[in-house]
Structure 1
Amino acid sequence: MQTRKLAVEGALEFTAPVFADDRGLFVSPLQQQPFETAHGGPLFKTAQSNHSKSRRGVVRGIHYTVTPPGTAKYVYCANGRSLDIVVDTRVGSPTYGRWDAVVLDPVDFRAVYLPIGVGHAFVALTDDTVMSYLISGPYVARNELALSVLDPRLGLPIPEDIEPILSQRDIAAPTLAEAERQGLLPDYERCLEQEALLGTEDQARTGPRS
């Protein structure tokens, strides 16, 4: 398993070895030991797994969770091809407002880890793009927030040949600056506190989750 630090502090990229033969292939997109070595802490306890299917041009995000409790995510692309984007929405973070992007597909089988407080978006580059997520906490609608993926300050790398297809929620989402002024963004230090609880018994006792 190859690992790489992304430009957003705490976010990681993983590339698993693929074992292919004339029958097909086998791959393990998430492996505990390489994750814990790269992360410097225990693998989070998974409370929920999510599966989404999108046609080409669909853009989902930027989504993040009220912290506390916050959620960590581990994401890979099971079919199709996506441009996965991580955005640092944690006020006070050394990489606040910075983003990084990784192409995910079922060829190289890269995966991305998003620590608590980091925003997530992706662009479906093909029809039938399937994204698979492991989440550290169950979905709670009132804790789920969004930022504008078209925020000019962020300048996210949406391909020029893509006409973004957005949900009404994402169309109406505020910019990063607007969300900061409204006090909607997570605090970096609080996010680190919650991150330190992942993989422990206290993870299940940090309040309502998303």
Structure 2
Amino acid sequence: MIFTETKLKGAYILDIKRLEDERGFFGRAYCQKEFEEHGLNTNLVQANVSFNHKKGTLRGMHMQLAPHAETKLVRCTRGAIYDVIVDLRPESETYTQWIGVELTADNYRMLYVPEGFAHGYLTLEDNSDVMYQVTAFYAAGAERGHRWNDPAFNIAWPLEPQIISEKDQQHPLLADIPTKASV
């Protein structure tokens, strides 16, 4: 596997190292040993799939608070998405900074999202599937969301979202949250 650390410490773009021949290719999509060598969380306890009918569907920005904070390993298995993470670790040098990565079924790229980051994505094609593995079980009481268009983040989405759930539209702005510790 090829691990590329992003400008947001602890967040990685992961590419499959392909062993190609006339049949196609073989590559490793997860290796506990390689993750440990990079200091990454290997305690994957749940796998989730999200299907999206239409291009322009936005989901996010989601996270869970401690003690249910989760690390995510995200991959698009059909179609294409623009995957975005925002660093919401109050002590981080990159607090409120974001990155976006195009994940497609064709590029096999993954995004490693550490605890303390909000995560969301925008579909770039109809009928896009997203699979993500997480290191904590879902806990409804720990679920938090942040507005996808919050000026505190100033995310440059590649196209205008067409479909956003009512719940995601109602997430608060960072400025409306009493303290950084309550993100």
TM-score by length of 2: 0.90
Q: Deviations over 1:88-127 (max 9, x none)?
A: 1111211100101111112221111111111111111001
Between the two proteins, the alignment pairs up a number of residues equal to 182
Find the counterpart in structure 1 of residue 66 from structure 2. Answer: 67
Residue identity matched to 1:91 = P
Tell me which protein shows more helix as a share of its residues: 1
Task: Please say if residues 36 and 42 of structure 2, whose CA atoms lie closer than 8 Å, have aligned partners that are also in contact.
Answer: no
Which ranges in structure 2 are unaligned for 5 or more consecutive residues?
Answer: none
Does the 8 Å CA contact 1:45/1:136 hold for their aligned counterparts? yes
* Residue 172, structure 1, aligned to residue 180, structure 2: no
Q: Residue 75 of structure 2 corresponds to which residue in structure 1?
A: 76
Q: For the residues of structure 2 that align with 1:73 and 1:141, how far apart are their CA atoms?
A: 17
Task: Give 1:199's aligned residue.
Answer: none
**Structure 1: where are the runs of 5+ without partners?**
186-210
Q: CA RMSD in A?
A: 1.9
SS state at 1:149 partner: coil
Identity of counterpart residues, as a percentage?
29
2:180 & 2:166 partners in 1: Cα distance? 20
Alpha-carbon contact 1:78-1:106 (below 8 Å) kept: yes
> Contact 1:6/1:13 (CA < 8 Å) preserved in 2?
yes
Q: Could you report, residue by residue, the CA deviation over 1:27-52 in whole angstroms, capped at 9, with x for unpaired residues? A: 432222332222x25x4222211000
Cα distance 1:182–1:16, how it changes in 2: closer, same or farther (>3 A)? closer
Work out the CA distance in 2 between the residues paired with 1:51 and 1:20.
Answer: 28
TM normalised by structure 1 equals 0.79
